[in-house]
Amino acid sequence: MKKTAWLIIAAAAIPSWLAVDTCNNNEMTTRQQILKKLYPALTGITRMTGSKNAIHRPETPATPKASFHDLSMTLITGEAQPMGEWQGKMVLLVNTASDCGYTAQYEQLQQLQDQYRDRLVILGFPANDFKQQEKGSNADIASFCKRNYGVAFPLASKSQVVKGPQQNPVFQWLSERRLNGWNDRPPIWNFTKYLVDGTGSLMAVFEPSVDPLDPALTSLLDAKGPA
């Protein structure tokens, strides 16, 4: 375990100049390739240590103070996308980054979308909020995700997801109790996951180390009927 942990620390310390070619050809950089290979070990260690793997749910059913389905997002291609179009479906919203130890979750998120396409919409929100791990343009991000992970679920235009004057309005709703009814937690790192049910109520918040295919998440989807 100690050897694996040191490998992960070493990978995270790879200098950022090794990632500059991502913007040129959308191939994985050396750092990204190493992080992808080490992802299984990373998740194993975080499960054992309890790091970034908490799941938050309301103690009692909470009614949103503002409608989730009245919100809109700007897609990575520039078009407006109203959340109301997905009323009746569950929505999993994830803040993403291309140069993170959790970037390999893109592949699992796509698997989750494919498996539950009849009842679930996954939305990725690229952000450069944590250690500048999403430096590329919208075009770079879209191409990188498609080329390396086969991402077909909607991606938002790059924005800020942490709290502040420039916070994306969707993530403002997700991280303010006065809007969603119970949760004040913003993303703690890339690949924090927020699950909203078909009525527009926030069901759960999954920290980054919770795998997209974790039974704790899929059980909530299965509860809505067979996939």
Active site (catalytic) residues: 100
- Output the six-digit token pair for 88: 């009746």
Nearest residue to 76 via CA among 132, 136, 148, 149: 136
Pairing of strands 120-126, 90-96: parallel
User: How many other CB atoms sit within 10 Å of the CB of residue 165?
Assistant: 5
What is the DSSP-derived secondary structure letter of residue 163?
Answer: S
3-state secondary structure of 132: coil
Q: Which residues pair with 120 in a beta bridge?
A: 90
What is the DSSP-derived secondary structure letter of residue 167?
Answer: B
